[in-house]
Structure 1
Amino acid sequence: MRKLFGAFAGICFMLSAGLASAEVTPFTFVHISDVHVGSGNNEEALRKGLKEIDKAVPEAEFIIITGDVTDLGSGDELTSYVEALKATKKKVYSVPGNHDGRWSESGKEMFKKIVGPSYEKWDNNGIRFISMDVSMLVEQYAHFDGAQMKKLEADLSSLPEGAPAIISFHHPPFHSSRFFDNDLEFAELIRKYNVPLVLDGHGHSYVRYAYNGTSYAMGGSTFGANAGYRVWKVSPDAINGEIHRFGKSEVESEDPIPMTRATDSAPGDLKQASAGVFELKPASGYEFKSASYKIDDLVTGTATSLETGRFEVDVKKLPVGRHEIVVTAETGDGLKHLRACLFDTSAVTADSSSLFDPISTITREWALGSGGQANPTVNGDVMYVGANDGLFRAIDLKTGDIKWNADLTRETLSTPVVVDGRVYTAALDGNVYCFDAETGKEIWKTGTDNAILASPLVADGRVYIGSGDFHMYAMSADTGDILWKFAAQKHIKMTPALENGKLYFGAWDNWFYCVDAKSGELVWKVPASRSVGLSSATCNPAVKDGRVLMVTHDYSVRCLDARNGSHLWMYKPAKDELGPSYSSAVLVGDMAYLGSINGHVVGYNMVTGEKSFDVDVRPEKTDALFDSAPLIRGDKLYIGSVGGNVYCIDIPSQKVAWSVALQPGFIFTGPAAWGDKLLISSMGNRIFEIPIEPVSPR
């Protein structure tokens, strides 16, 4: 029997009925979002907007701003934002958005230092308010972090029974664009409590909708044609919303939201009854008006035969692995309900008539405290990997046990490097670490002046790594002493490439650099693209035989002459064509292979620049390939996707050989190989082990 580590507990989510109302006394507050200080005249627009709010709604006790408070998340922008808030006399609560952490030199460290905590709770007149950070480091997507979900559960469960709570964060959940990978986990958690209202942003509009008895309301921005804000007037029985437009006297009143969240006991639990058959029965006295399902954001359909509570889905359209099915059911009273369930599929074998073979495609899994955005590294029989819970782990792959771990106190995005019995990594605390690979004893730790989002390169007795303090460092691999540091104009996220004593790297300053690896002296630098926003700053460069491959954020792939930085060739995508942008290249022979955000794995000839390899991993619906760099073994290429899948591509035929679903959870990491197994970290708070050759093709 296979052993399961950090086993998935409780395949189907559980249901809890709504809670009774708690006593609330009247008050008023304001909600705005997406002020984007740092872009155009947005700082002045924020000041003006806050003054108008003070004048128009003097009774408001506080203001909630749900993210994207800056445009690029720099320290200067965050400082300007805090200065702009002085235009109001009211208390302001802020949460980060994707713009505050995606391009920031500090991740979210400076937000917490300059603006305030990224998770906060406060009580006001009988209501508990909780602000959360759902933005992701260096990504545009959203995720309910494992550690914050534990805090949320604790802060809701500590309330008196029936006491209401209002939650705020940036991205809107349950959106057709799938900003989240685990928003159903959030929906299931809050159904146990009286959460009548959730505030969000991101869309610069006033969208409002309701699921499971909870209303979701998007906040307006302080700039643009639709600029405005919501005023929320709270009474003991209801929360009344009003939309105000800046510079206009008209007020748009909205339907009141009951203070006691509508009970959500109409549908029962969604569960798997048998292979391909699911059950969702309405409670006594209710009937379904309609019901639809979606599996892995891919397969959709209508849940028929609901009078029996059972419906069938064609799971043969799915790859093997773990899947999430979400049912949206509308009852006769007009309320919409969400139910979710996870289920596993295995391949059909030649000697089995059952759809589910007893051999699983997930052979082991390890639980993480938060999601994983760091690639695992395998050395011998040990896997080394960091995660967003701050723990750096060494896992014995023979036994599955944790060999040792180290608390780095902050998120780790670095891919560890193992050389001569030592393992090197870095974290957002700004430190580079060297541990004894066998015992985990810290050998040295060297600090930089800002967070580190990059991975180290270890070669010739040196550790080369970029930092959020705008410098590329060379440190002694033996002692950690800083040998030199080279100043760029913005932060450095990528890992440099090294050939013939020269380092090649880009930064978020739109320059691409060549630096002498021994002295740290500049050899040459060339502009990367047309603007800073299109810098060559995310994909790691690759170098071979005097040719340097780098990718810019206009989806162009460039090959430079290593001697002077001149262009040897450039592949510029056609209009509206999305290409490589985040996934780093892997070189095999004269070919460079990368993932692209349009869901294609592409390959370019390093000599000619010809794009001679192009595979759409999921033609039926785009499955974006962001940061996951390909792993190539023999004639097979392996890569992870935003959709939470791992793909195997047969290189000679340019076809997908198979795929495995690992739901729910974005995959931004590249896989590592251990014998006949693949290991990959997921934002689903897990590291998965799967066979390199599953039972049958996709």
Structure 2
Amino acid sequence: MLGMAGGSAAAVGLASLLGAAPAGAAPGATAAIAPGHRPGGSDKPLRFAVVTDTHINLTNTQSTTWLAQIYAALATREPDFVLHCGDIADTGQPDEYDRYAQILPDALRGKIHYSPGNHDTRWDPTAKQLYRAHFGPAPYSFDAGGIHIIGFDPSEVLQEPGHYGPGGFAWLEADLRRLPPGTPAVLFQHFPLGNSFYYVDDQPAVLDHFAGYNLRGIFAGHIHREDISHFNGLTQVAMNAVLNAPVYYWVEKSTDGGGMPVLQVSRVSVAADGTQTEVPLSTMPLTGTGQGRAQRPRQVLLGRVGAGVLPVTVRLTPDAGSPQVGVQPYPQAVFGGSSAPAYQALTADGDRFTGTVDVSALAPGQQRLQVRVQAADGTWWEQTNLFTVPGGARDPRQRWQYQMPGAAQGGIALAVDAKSGRGSAQQDSALLVAGSSGGQVVALRTDGSRVWRAQTGPVYRQPGADAAGETVFVPSADHHLYALDARTGHRRWQFDAGAPVLGAPEVSQVDGQQRVVFSAGQGLFALDTATGHQVWSVPDSSFSSGRPACDGERVYAAGADGYARAYDARTGQQLWAYQMVTGDEHHLDLYSGWDAVVAVGGGLVVVATVSNAIALDAATGAKRWTVSGSTMYAPALILDDATCLLTTEWGVLTLVHLATGATIWQNNLALRVFNAGVVVNGDTAWVLTVDGKLIGVRLADGARAGWLQHSLVYTFGRPAVTGGMLAVGDQNGVVHGIRLR
């Protein structure tokens, strides 16, 4: 919800043209259906349509053709409104949204309401500002036909999966709490929940929040296929994609055989000649206890873990009937995907179900047990419960936590201690500086105590610091780079880059002068660190959310146009360019080095795409070697002039000879690793996996050396380590202080 100011003003014209939230339905507001729609009161019929995953793409026009057929057919049916569950466009680029606007018939303008998908925001250099300008902000809600409809947005800037977070839960609670008793609510968003889906990393908390309210249904997309499930008191309809077929879903308020109100959901296929074939799929009850609620456990008791075994007792209510009760360790390692259930049945003794679960493969720290109680009719209740796995002598220990607003996705920088005044090279005096998407920047001591707090715009990448650790440079989606005094947090200067600053800044010496280099929008900028004055800029260097590198002679950067480039560090003049990826705009957006952190050392520059790590000659740009693997997200670490540590997004660590790329050792952790990546402390590399694990790997031979489950939500922010204390942030805005040994 933050960082909307730039998009909200522009949204006034375009959002009303294309649809978006109803009038007055800004974030935090509830609105009546927009003027001109069918009134839809509780005593009148309600008819609406749902579409999803249209993936407008200028290269592959089939989905555009099918969507035009669908919208033409819908215009003849005069629905009260239409819901779009996201992935409107394939890469969220302006020309794709323009093409979408061209096929929208006048009869539907102002009647379509949207929730963004990952394809709308993943590769977006505007940090959702472009989306909001076209379709309006989310979350929002409105009322129609006696039903409360919520358009939620779990999508994340620059990331693939979904996340609600504390701010999302606060909005949801406030929105649902003010509903009159008995009002049914229906939510639409891009990602489906529960069942075998793990696309939203904090979905256990989402389902817990829903449990206290009269949420009756969810419409979702993302999986590009139909999946209808009845659980936790609601009916979820995950839908086929327009990308696959000319199909939409028609929903009408009606009554069941007992005269109780329901929503009837049908699939409608549209032929090229406009013929519509409708097939009933499911009903969504609007009253009663809700499907699966009777199976909600009265009590779940988890014993103490011993010898890798967790004792479990589940007690049910008399209304539960004779269900099956199964448990499984929550599949924490599944990243933004689905996973076939592996529930272990508990033994029944009346309303009491007992058993033990093998948890010996889980990391030390807090873990979750997934509990499912399924009735004979296929409906179920699912929830998770927390337990702790004890650690061993070699495992890290969590020492403190600090809560920030928004997500701590921006990574941690090291600066100077306000009390001692000594530089960051003195490990006992270092400050840990963290930024959040909530626009807060804090400096913490290594014991977790706060020294200062400052406010900027939303922060999505790691701040930088000057050589003395006395100035911190904070990139913000509000178009500014901020220079903050590391001792006090006071603002020394700010620079307006004219676009969201979504790349991490690099600070280096050029002819004895310090420069900070960073990407914003399509541009690359070099500023004087003392004054913030622009030394040079390259306005068309290509979008990058990674970080450039500088060796004092040249600046190296990789971008979304498929190129790695070198620029004169004094003037910004381009010196060479190496084409890493070829293809059309869509292919480049997805597979280029747009998120690469460039590494430089030993006369080489190491860049990466989602397919390869590439070493280039620093002076000429000539390719020296290539190592296969998706090494773009986790930064390469040049350890010395002889070795380089590469980490793929799939958790394969490879130590290579810097000169040749030849493998020294390799370790497959079999866990997803993204932007947080790896940090080195002494003789150990500490790997931050996206699912909240910290794993030690010895640099000498790649052997494992202790681990910890430090968080149960995703981790993208780069860590920092000083004096044996590692700090890392997570998507719930928590900065974790971890003692390594």
Q: State the TM-score, normalized to the length of structure 2.
A: 0.83
Give the whole-Å Cα distance in 1 for the aligned partners of 2:732 and 2:322.
Answer: 31
Aligned equivalent of 2:390? 346
Q: Does the Cα contact within 8 Å between 2:299 and 2:316 map onto a contact in 1?
A: no
Aligned equivalent of 1:35? 54
Q: Does 1:477 align with 2:529?
A: yes
| Aligned ranges 1:72-83 → 2 under 5 Å | 72-83=91-102
Shift of residue 647, structure 1, vs aligned partner: 0.7
Q: Does the Cα contact within 8 Å between 1:296 and 1:663 map onto a contact in 2?
A: no
Give the whole-Å Cα distance in 2 for the aligned partners of 1:166 and 1:218.
Answer: 13
Aligned equivalent of 2:502? 453
- The alignment's C-alpha RMSD in Å is 2.3
Aligned equivalent of 1:243? 267
> Which sits farther off after the overlay, 259-268 or 27-36?
259-268
| Aligned ranges 1:38-53 → 2 under 5 Å | 38-39=57-58, 40-41=60-61, 42-53=63-74
Q: Name the CA shift for 1:455/1:629 in 2 (closer, same or farther; >3 Å).
A: same
Q: Does 1:178 align with 2:198?
A: yes
Instruction: Percent identity, please.
Output: 20
Q: Name the CA shift for 1:543/1:674 in 2 (closer, same or farther; >3 Å).
A: closer
Letter in 1 for 2:516: V
Aligned equivalent of 1:581? 632
Shift of residue 25, structure 1, vs aligned partner: 4.1
Give the whole-Å Cα distance in 2 for the aligned partners of 1:360 and 1:284.
Answer: 45
Give the whole-Å Cα distance in 2 for the aligned partners of 1:192 and 1:24.
Answer: 27
1:254 to 263, 273, 281: 281
Q: CA-to-partner distance for each residue in 1:4-35, whole Å, 9 max, x for gaps?
A: xxxxxxxxxxxxxxxxxx95642011100111
Q: Does the Cα contact within 8 Å between 1:109 and 1:451 map onto a contact in 2?
A: no
Give the whole-Å Cα distance in 2 for the aligned partners of 1:108 and 1:418.
Answer: 30
Shift of residue 386, structure 1, vs aligned partner: 1.0
Q: Name the CA shift for 1:438/1:27 in 2 (closer, same or farther; >3 Å).
A: same
| Aligned ranges 1:374-385 → 2 under 5 Å | 374-379=410-415, 380-385=429-434
Shift of residue 650, structure 1, vs aligned partner: 1.5
Letter in 2 for 1:465: F
Letter in 1 for 2:84: I
Q: Name the CA shift for 1:304/1:243 in 2 (closer, same or farther; >3 Å).
A: same
Q: Name the CA shift for 1:210/1:623 in 2 (closer, same or farther; >3 Å).
A: farther
Q: Does 1:138 align with 2:158?
A: yes
Q: CA-to-partner distance for each residue in 1:505-564, whole Å, 9 max, x for gaps?
A: 1110112111011111111112112332432221211111321111122x2121111122
Q: What secondary structure does 1:250 align onto?
A: strand
Give the whole-Å Cα distance in 2 for the aligned partners of 1:268 and 1:23.
Answer: 34
Q: Does the Cα contact within 8 Å between 1:270 and 1:340 map onto a contact in 2?
A: no
1:164 to 180, 184, 193: 184
Give the whole-Å Cα distance in 2 for the aligned partners of 1:526 and 1:336.
Answer: 55
1:414 to 462, 465, 474: 462
Give the whole-Å Cα distance in 1 for the aligned partners of 2:396 and 2:643.
Answer: 34
Give the whole-Å Cα distance in 1 for the aligned partners of 2:620 and 2:396.
Answer: 52
Aligned equivalent of 2:89? 70
Shift of residue 392, structure 1, vs aligned partner: 1.5
Q: What secondary structure does 2:134 align onto?
A: helix
Q: Does 1:289 align with 2:313?
A: no
Q: What secondary structure does 2:347 align onto?
A: coil
Aligned equivalent of 2:714? 666
Q: Does the Cα contact within 8 Å between 1:418 and 1:437 map onto a contact in 2?
A: no
Q: Does 1:387 align with 2:436?
A: yes
Give the whole-Å Cα distance in 2 for the aligned partners of 1:632 and 1:396.
Answer: 20
Q: Does the Cα contact within 8 Å between 1:67 and 1:169 map onto a contact in 2?
A: yes
Shift of residue 625, structure 1, vs aligned partner: 1.0
Letter in 2 for 1:272: L
Give the whole-Å Cα distance in 2 for the aligned partners of 1:62 and 1:154.
Answer: 24
Q: Does the Cα contact within 8 Å between 1:432 and 1:446 map onto a contact in 2?
A: yes
> Which sits farther off after the overlay, 513-522 or 79-88?
79-88
Q: Does 1:277 align with 2:298?
A: no
Letter in 2 for 1:47: A
Q: Does the Cα contact within 8 Å between 2:396 and 2:706 map onto a contact in 1?
A: no
Q: Does the Cα contact within 8 Å between 2:406 and 2:438 map onto a contact in 1?
A: yes
Q: Name the CA shift for 1:346/1:106 in 2 (closer, same or farther; >3 Å).
A: same
Give the whole-Å Cα distance in 1 for the aligned partners of 2:139 and 2:697.
Answer: 41
Q: What secondary structure does 1:99 align onto?
A: helix
> Which sits farther off after the overlay, 452-461 or 39-48?
39-48
Aligned equivalent of 1:10? none
Q: CA-to-partner distance for each residue in 1:632-685, whole Å, 9 max, x for gaps?
A: 122211011122211111222322212111342112233221322221111243
Aligned equivalent of 1:462? 515
Shift of residue 444, structure 1, vs aligned partner: 0.9
In structure 1, runs of 5+ residues without a counterpart are: 1-21, 351-358, 694-698
Aligned equivalent of 1:602? 654
Q: Does the Cα contact within 8 Å between 1:240 and 1:255 map onto a contact in 2?
A: yes
1:153 to 173, 177, 199: 173
Give the whole-Å Cα distance in 1 for the aligned partners of 2:114 and 2:491.
Answer: 37
Shift of residue 83, structure 1, vs aligned partner: 4.2
> Which sits farther off after the overlay, 542-551 or 682-691?
682-691
> Which sits farther off after the overlay, 122-131 or 417-426?
417-426
Q: What secondary structure does 1:363 align onto?
A: strand
Q: Name the CA shift for 1:416/1:26 in 2 (closer, same or farther; >3 Å).
A: farther
Q: CA-to-partner distance for each residue in 1:277-319, whole Å, 9 max, x for gaps?
A: 2332111242453222222416955142343333322233322
Shift of residue 479, structure 1, vs aligned partner: 1.5
Give the whole-Å Cα distance in 2 for the aligned partners of 1:408 and 1:44.
Answer: 44
Letter in 1 for 2:549: A
Shift of residue 79, structure 1, vs aligned partner: 3.7
Q: Does the Cα contact within 8 Å between 1:25 and 1:126 map onto a contact in 2?
A: no
In structure 2, runs of 5+ residues without a counterpart are: 1-40, 256-260, 334-341, 416-428
| Aligned ranges 1:308-327 → 2 under 5 Å | 308-327=352-371
Give the whole-Å Cα distance in 2 for the aligned partners of 1:675 and 1:612.
Answer: 28
Shift of residue 600, structure 1, vs aligned partner: 1.4
Q: Name the CA shift for 1:44/1:431 in 2 (closer, same or farther; >3 Å).
A: farther
Q: What secondary structure does 2:576 align onto?
A: strand
Aligned equivalent of 1:198? 218
Give the whole-Å Cα distance in 2 for the aligned partners of 1:136 and 1:407.
Answer: 21
Give the whole-Å Cα distance in 1 for the aligned partners of 2:106 and 2:391.
Answer: 62
Q: Does the Cα contact within 8 Å between 1:74 and 1:105 map onto a contact in 2?
A: no
Shift of residue 626, structure 1, vs aligned partner: 1.5
Give the whole-Å Cα distance in 2 for the aligned partners of 1:653 and 1:609.
Answer: 17
Q: Does the Cα contact within 8 Å between 2:636 and 2:644 map onto a contact in 1?
A: yes
| Aligned ranges 1:683-698 → 2 under 5 Å | 683-693=731-741
Question: What is the total number of aligned residue pairs between the two structures?
Answer: 649
Shift of residue 474, structure 1, vs aligned partner: 0.7
Q: Does the Cα contact within 8 Å between 1:303 and 1:312 map onto a contact in 2?
A: no
Shift of residue 478, structure 1, vs aligned partner: 1.2
Q: Does the Cα contact within 8 Å between 1:513 and 1:522 map onto a contact in 2?
A: yes
Letter in 2 for 1:432: L
Q: Does the Cα contact within 8 Å between 2:414 and 2:465 map onto a contact in 1?
A: no
